[in-house]
Amino acid sequence: MATYQYRCPGCGTFDVIRPIGRALPQEPCDACGDQARRVFTAPMLTRTPAPLSRALHAQEASAHEPRVVGEVPPARRSPAAPADPRHALLPKP
């Protein structure tokens, strides 16, 4: 489905959703019923951001092929001690 934009002389612009290639040159206005002419606009082409694309791909893959965990993941290591001994005297968060 595609969104086509029409401009009514009295009411302004409005959108009509139709299958691709099925837009009419004129469409009746929703508000007043007058004939509105089609306005040619740039297509709405967008690119999905990379993190969202990866998340969607992982979600789609997990629906059919869930990952099996063989073991418990290792615990996170605590941060290394600072190299400067004076930092040990600072208060801990």
- Per-residue pLDDT of 6-52, as tens digits, reads 999 999 999 999 998 888 999 999 889 899 999 988 776 778 888 98
In the three-class reduction of DSSP (H, G, I as helix; E, B as strand; rest coil), residue 56 is classed as: helix
CB 39 within 8 A of CB 6: yes
Q: Which CATH class is domain 2-39?
A: mainly beta
Q: Return the domain boundaries, the chain.
A: 2-39
The C-alpha atoms of residue 16 and residue 10 are separated, in whole angstroms, by 17
- Per-residue pLDDT of 52-66, as tens digits, reads 888 888 888 777 777
User: What does pTM read for this prediction?
Assistant: 0.47
Strands 26-28 and 12-18: unpaired
Q: Which two tokens stand for residue 5?
A: 């934009």
